[in-house]
Chain A
Amino acid sequence: MTNSDINRLKDKAFQVFGIFCTFIGLVVLAVFLFDIIAEGIARIDWDFLTSLPSRRASRAGILTAWVGTLWILVLTTIIAFPLGVAAGVYLEEYGKKNKMANFLEINIANLAGVPSIIYGLLGLEVFVRQMRLGGSLLAGALTLSLLILPIIIVTTREAIKAVPRSIRDGSYALGASKWQTVWNQVLPASFGGILTGIILALSRAVGEAAPLIVIGALAYVPFTPSTPMDEFTVLPIQIFNWTSRPQEAFLTNAAAAIIILLIITFLLNGIAVYLRNKQQKKVKW
């Protein structure tokens, strides 16, 4: 064999390895989903969705967990959406290109890289102790809002950046002020992109357990929360709790709860991807 034959052989070999690597992740994902569904699907019924937690695995349900997750979703959206979009608008439309802007940018990138459990420690000290909110839904939602704020700001900025200069110039030429231009032109034009970012951020928040455990969310809450000041649990914490028990029956419960959590996560991601594609098709500047 000549050198070039050997090189060609190596090239082919790498191609096979490349295919192998590309699909191994997907195969693991498929095995995993199959395993979870096989173990948990039979456990899901109306009772499982509407029962309170219980010491007996066969009677335990996820009512408090999914209601808590829903509460957290709504509260986090109410807090993080206006804050994140406002910050994104300021940085993109108002911020001057100076040292301060540079510092803000690096700071936001840094925040995006802070581990979620550190946000839990922040929430524990500031919201739970100093503001005396306790392990309440509000404390949890505030903590998660801070966690997803960098994601919302970054995607908002990207969406706004995609709006062409000419739209703004047209608005100014008609005598609109800066805020009128932003409110009537820039934000409507970039709303699809902003919405996509927020939904992706929320799908991240839905799956978080660590920061909520740190602020004191409990695994066992015997009632569904009815105000933002109530104690709560969420699906990921319930899953964690059931997974850490030795009895097989609780693992089945965990698998069933995982199916519900994955449905919520995939649904949110699906909506985000759908919105992004629709936006890309609709808008041709």
Chain B
Amino acid sequence: MRVSEKVIEGLLWLAAVITILITAGIIWVLLSESISFFRVVSLAEFLTEKEWTPLFADKKFGIMPLVAGTLLTTGVAIAVALPIGLTIAVYLNEYAHATLKQVVKPLLEVLATIPTVVYGFFALTVVTPFLQQFIPSLAGFNALSAGIVMGIMIIPMISSLSEDAISSVPRSLREAAYGMGSTRLQTSFGVMVPAASSGIIVSVILAISRAVGETMIVAVAAGQQPRLTLNPLVPIETITTYIVQVSLGDVPQGSLEYKTIFAAGITLFVFTFALNNLSFWIKKKYQEKYD
């Protein structure tokens, strides 16, 4: 009896430890392939070269154009999702009727369940032609449409996490604000939002991390032209799109071109890892402020 209990506990433990092996595996894979990449291409070139052309005859290995493309689509997405998401959070918390909140929240969550390749289709075939009516210089592939659609996708992420943060602010703070004669708007942005700021910041950081790693929307709608620019109207390429582009082609395994996807991958991993841990740190540091 006691032996079988121990065996079962051991098996369950193994399942839990696999999660550590996954992390170790990710780091090992990214590092080992990148290290052999950096034996050929210096880290200095990787970080300072202004062109990324590993698939051309004249090869240049500067990651910056891909980073710029990634930050550009992410920036557009956050510019869309933050104001809308935060307004929704405040509105549902302070203005809306409880029944409306109950109906709207799950409906907004639907936005997060739609596969991202479907959003890509939407960006390419609906949003870009629509925007071209107002911005004639907008290219068929561009960071703007991809970013806007990505922003719509992450609205529920910001709105629901921020809403949780705002609704966990103690009632007494809100009542004190109303007692002083504040309007709902003043109460929201003068008291509730500042009091919930750590939770709101966490939601935004997680949204940024999600946008940085998003692949299919940008692969479909943002183009495949690495370009060091902040102009959202022209085709660009993100880190994730580059990995997809190489995976779709027939680059021989083990070649330098093949290793570039791991170098791009580790760059992406460093960004998201830093963002995620920043969010944990903020959450841990500030969450019990009002208990």
Contact = CB atoms under 8 A, between A and B. Distances in A.
B269 interface: yes
Nearest to B246: A214
B91 A126 contact: no
A115 B213 contact: yes
Contacts of A14: 87, 91, 95, 184-185, 188
A243 B216 CA distance: 11
Contacts of B117: 207, 209, 236, 239-240, 243
Contacts of B99: none
A265 interface: yes
A113 B220 contact: no
Interface in A10-61: 10-11, 14-15, 17-19, 21-22, 24-26, 28-29, 31-32, 35-36
A214 B104 CA distance: 36
B121 A258 contact: yes
A146 B113 CA distance: 19
B33 interface: yes
Interface string A188-210: 00000000000000010011111
Contacts of A32: 122, 126
Interface hub of B92, B104, B184 (most chain A Cβ within 10 A):
B184
A117 B243 contact: yes
A178 B12 CA distance: 13
Interface string B116-141: 11101110111000000000000000
B276 A116 contact: no
B287 to A, nearest CB: 14
Given A26-B107, A236-B216, A210 B244 contact: yes
B253 A87 contact: no
Contacts of B125: 35, 243, 251
Contact of B91 (A8, A15, A28, A115): A15
Contacts of A65: none
Interface in B90-108: 90-92, 95-96, 104, 106-108
B26 A114 contact: yes
B146 interface: no
B203 to A, nearest CB: 13
A103 B275 CA distance: 18
A239 B118 contact: yes
B126 A126 contact: no
Given A116-B213, A149-B22, A243 B15 contact: no
B29 to A, nearest CB: 4
Interface string A106-122: 11111101111111111
A251 B140 CA distance: 15
A25 B25 contact: no
B244 A35 contact: no
Contacts of A118: 26, 30, 213, 265, 268-269, 272
Nearest to B116: A207
Contact of B11 (A24, A86, A113, A126): A86
A87 B114 contact: no
A177 B16 contact: no
Nearest to B91: A18
Nearest to A25: B155
Contacts of A8: 183
A240 B219 contact: yes
B248 interface: yes
Give the interface SS of chain A, mostly helix, strand, loop or mixed. Answer: helix
B52 interface: no
Interface stretch (A90-98, A165-173, A222-230): A90-98
B39 to A, nearest CB: 18
Contact of A108 (B19, B114, B253): B19
Nearest to B87: A21
Interface string B170-207: 00000000000101111010000000000000000010
8 contacts: A22-B92, A24-B84, A29-B110, A104-B20, A114-B213, A179-B4, A214-B243, A216-B247
Interface of A: 4, 7-8, 10-11, 14-15, 17-19, 21-22, 24-26, 28-29, 31-32, 35-36, 82-84, 86-87, 89-91, 94-95, 103-104, 106-111, 113-122, 124-126, 129, 146, 149-150, 153, 177-179, 203, 206-210, 213-214, 216, 236, 239-240, 243-244, 251, 254-255, 258, 261-262, 265-266, 269, 273
Nearest 7 CB-CB pairings of A with B: A115-B213, A207-B115, A18-B91, A86-B15, A90-B12, A210-B215, A113-B276
Interface of B: 1, 4-5, 8-9, 11-16, 18-20, 22-23, 25-26, 29-30, 33, 83-84, 87-88, 90-92, 95-96, 104, 106-108, 110-111, 113-118, 120-122, 124-126, 152, 155-156, 181, 183-186, 188, 206, 209-210, 212-216, 219-220, 240, 243-244, 247-248, 253, 261-262, 265, 268-269, 272-273, 275-277, 280
Given A14-B184, A121-B261, 11 more contacts: A21-B84, A36-B118, A87-B18, A91-B16, A107-B19, A126-B25, A208-B115, A236-B117, A240-B120, A255-B121, A269-B110
